[in-house]
Homo-oligomer: A and B are copies of this chain.
Amino acid sequence: MATRSNPLIDDGLVDFLLYSVLDAEGLCQLGAYEQHSKETFDLYVDSVRRFARQDLLPTYKPMDEEPPVFRDGRVHTHPALPALFGQMVDLGVLTATCPETVGGQQMPTLVHTMATAYLMAANLGAYGFVGLTHGAANLIEAFGTDEVKERFMAKMYAGEWTGTMALTEPQAGSSLGDIATSATPTDEGHYLIKGSKIFISGADHGITENVVNLALARIDGAPDGTKGISLFAVPRLREENGSLVSNDVTVAGLIHKIGWRALPSLALEFGDEGDCRGWLVGEPNQGLRYMFQMMNEARIMIGVNGAATASVAYHESLSYALGRKQGRRLGARGGEQISIIEHADVRRMLLRQKAIVEGSFALLGTVSRYADVAEHGASEEDRERAGLLLNLLTPIAKTFPAERGFESNVLAVQIHGGYGYTSEYLPEAYMRDQKLNTLHEGTNAIQSMDLLGRQVVAKGGAALRALAEEIGSAIARAREAGCDPELCSELEEAMATVGSTTMELGQRGMAGDADGMLGHSWDYLDMFATLVIGWQWLNMAAVARTAPISEERRRATEAAAQYWLRTEVPRIPHLANLCRTNEDSYIKAEPEWF
């Protein structure tokens, strides 16, 4: 039925975002990226996307159908994974954004984000091993001593060992202050670790000989709560006399996940036999701070996971809608059946998916660029401003692609009709994959508390003012480019509404009324995200008017911008009203009422 192979992500979109909307080439003006050019960017993105389409995508369905098994104390992952992991290492994906000193290419995060999105779209779980290894090694790079770096980081960046993030415990979940895993100092430089972890992705597999778990634990006698948590490198095997021996890290169980099935999620036990060694990363009791410093990157990665998963399903449903013949135009009698894309409601579902997918990628590109400038910007002022915007927008970058991406994935199933309800077609699997993104790296509700309780009010609202300026500039650009003035006004009013609502809620918070401020943090998140994606779409529509793109892309960009600004942005006044009035139906509800 499909009339074309799945591109995973539209290459034209990626080009448009990188070179027309987000000025990736402009980054080459910065010292850190001076060795780069459009040519090196294209070379990297092209090699990664080609691998994603040719080698990675065909492995997706087999890995979904044959998830890892737990046998004789070990986890057995899909046999195709070692070769694929090696190919991704060879492509430089693991260290692309790292400095040359650790073997990297110092690639801008912006370019890397767009490249890795193809890998995630092709096989989310398989890419997961790379993403986790990078994240764990990066933590050691940032905070570890030279000894710890030498012991662990080099092998991880070389792809010889993989890494994990071992935060969650059964009794603590999202409440990291309740972590109970203990770390007892020894005279030999390491600590003895004891405790249980759960939902640890990739902590055992058949890809590389060893795994380094970056684990949160509490040093004996440390303060209670979040202030007494330290970060440790806890390898599955440790080196002794030149060979690898057991480090008393055991797999207690394999969790049967409903998606991301290439990547095992495990329950781990550290120190069942009292011989699990961990090496402190950085200073004692700073573990949570280190984690949070890395969390922006992790949250943006979740956003890219979400956008990529929505994108591959969007293209799947687009192919189906072009190929599947059914029904006739309104009022027509007889004659050949038409492709279902000819039905207005199918185009509604496609345009909605497109608005979500491309709006997500635009936002993720934008925040990735802020991450680059925050670290390597030309001036302190540039870096600070980019850092503010990065922190402000990260909760949106994490949640929007997950939340609306799931909705988009559901539409891809719906377009497939009864066939979408079968495992013979891919969309149901992408829907399962997507659901995780609203849950991990902090549930979306937790993100909403971070956004409203912390980011929008930080530094007297400086980040929100910077965002208002950015949105103002985009509106001015759109007006100048000749975009529909009503769409410009719609966004302008939305920004004003979000601004005044935030001020009102912030004042409640300052007056000590946390419940009054945060009772509708979910609606606030929805409102804020709707505005931010509206900004991205108006900006894209403005840029599209003069960018070197096809007429179809220009028209499609205008249509999607119109869709978002007319259909979604007008929801903002109502959401603001819910926040302002602190509508109290569920707030006052007692547990016994349910």
A593 closest partner in B (C-beta): B556
Residues facing B in A236-271 (CB within 8 A) are 255-259
**How far is B538's CA from A94's CA once the two chains are assembled, in angstroms?**
57
The answer to whether the Cβ of A224 comes within 8 Å of any Cβ in the partner chain is: yes
Judge whether A350 and B518 touch: CB under 8 Å: no
Given the interface contacts A175-B327, A556-B589, A586-B563, does A521 sit within 8 Å of B417 by beta carbon? Answer: no
Nearest to A317 among chain B residues (CB) is B594
Q: Known contacts A417-B439, A571-B571; can you find 19 more A-B pairs with CB under 8 A?
A: A175-B327, A256-B423, A322-B591, A330-B514, A344-B518, A344-B586, A348-B522, A350-B589, A352-B586, A354-B594, A414-B439, A552-B592, A556-B593, A559-B589, A559-B593, A560-B585, A566-B578, A570-B577, A571-B574
A325 to B173, CA, bound (A): 9
Q: Say if the beta carbon of A450 comes within 8 Å of chain B.
A: no
17 CB < 8 A contacts A-B: A173-B326, A178-B326, A257-B421, A343-B445, A346-B445, A347-B587, A347-B589, A351-B585, A352-B586, A354-B594, A410-B435, A414-B438, A417-B443, A555-B590, A559-B588, A559-B593, A567-B578
Residues in B neighbouring A318, C-beta threshold 8 A = 594
Q: Which residues from chain B contact A592 at a C-beta distance below 8 Å?
A: 552
A173 to B337, CA, bound (A): 11
> A47 to nearest B CB, angstroms?
27
Which of B171, B325, B421, B559 is close to A436, meaning CB atoms less than 8 Å apart? B421
The CA of A341 and the CA of B587, in the complex, are separated in Å by: 11
Q: Tell me which residues across on chain B come within 8 A of A352, comparing CB atoms.
A: 586
The 4 closest A-B pairs by CB, nearest first: A556-B593, A563-B585, A351-B586, A347-B586
Once the chains are docked, how many angstroms separate the CA of A421 from the CA of B406?
14
| Contact between A418 and B439, CB atoms less than 8 A apart | yes
Chain A interface (Cβ < 8 Å from any Cβ of B): 168, 171-175, 178, 198-199, 224-225, 255-259, 318, 322, 325-328, 330-331, 333-334, 337, 339, 341-348, 350-352, 354, 406, 410, 413-414, 417-418, 420-424, 428, 432, 435-436, 438-440, 443-445, 448, 514-515, 518-519, 521-522, 552-553, 555-556, 559-560, 562-563, 566-567, 570-571, 574, 577-578, 583, 585-594
Q: Are A173 and B422 in contact (CB under 8 A)?
A: no
Q: A421 and B583: CB pair below 8 A? A: no
Residues of B near A594 (CB, < 8 A) are 318, 341, 350-351, 354, 556
Kindly list chain B residues whose C-beta atoms are within 8 Å of the C-beta of A351: 585-586, 589, 594
Q: A343–B515 Cα gap in the complex (Å)? A: 10
Residue of B nearest to A592 (CB): B552
State in angstroms the CA–CA spacing of A175 and B422 once bound together: 20
Whether A326 lies near B172 (C-beta < 8 A) is yes
- The answer to whether B571 touches A585, judged by C-beta atoms less than 8 angstroms apart, is no
Please name all residues of chain B whose beta carbon is closer than 8 Å to the beta carbon of A519 when the two chains form the complex. 344
CA distance A413 to B438 in the complex (A): 10
- Label chain A's interface by main secondary structure: helix
* A326 near B175: Cβ-Cβ < 8 Å: yes
Tell whether, in the assembled complex, residue A515 and residue B330 are in contact, meaning their CB atoms are under 8 Å apart: yes
CB A452 to nearest CB in B, in angstroms, measures: 11
- Report yes or no: A334 in contact with B566, Cβ–Cβ below 8 A: no
User: CB-CB < 8 A to A571: which residues of B?
Assistant: 571, 574
- Contact A342-B175, Cβ < 8 Å, known A347-B586, A418-B199, A570-B577: no
| A178:B570 contact, CB within 8 angstroms | no
In the assembled complex, the Cα of A591 lies from the Cα of B322 at a distance in Å of: 8
Cβ contacts under 8 Å, A440 to chain B: 418
Q: CA–CA, A351 to B520, complex, Å?
A: 14
Least CB distance, A524 to chain B, in whole angstroms? 11
Complex CA distance for A424 and B198, rounded to whole angstroms: 14
Minimal beta-carbon separation of A61 from chain B (angstroms): 12
Residue of B nearest to A256 (CB): B423
Residues of chain B with a CB closer than 8 A to A435's CB: 410, 413, 421, 428
The smallest beta-carbon distance between A430 and chain B, in angstroms, is: 12
Quote the shortest CB–CB distance from A446 to chain B (angstroms). 9
Which residues of chain B have C-beta atoms less than 8 A from A515's C-beta? 330, 344
Bound-state Cα–Cα, A422 to B198, Å: 12
A432 to B410, CA, bound (A): 11
- The docked-state distance in angstroms from the alpha carbon of A590 to that of B555 is 9
A577 to B490, CA, bound (A): 14
CB contacts (< 8 Å) of A328 on chain B: these are 175
Given contacts A326-B172, A422-B255, A586-B351, contact A593 B552 (CB under 8 A): yes
Answer whether A555 and B333 are a contact pair too, CB < 8 Å, given A344-B515, A571-B574, A586-B563: no
A351 to B594, CA, bound (A): 8
| Cross-chain contact of A559 among B325, B428, B552, B585 (Cβ < 8 A) | B585
Cβ contacts under 8 Å, A587 to chain B: 344, 347
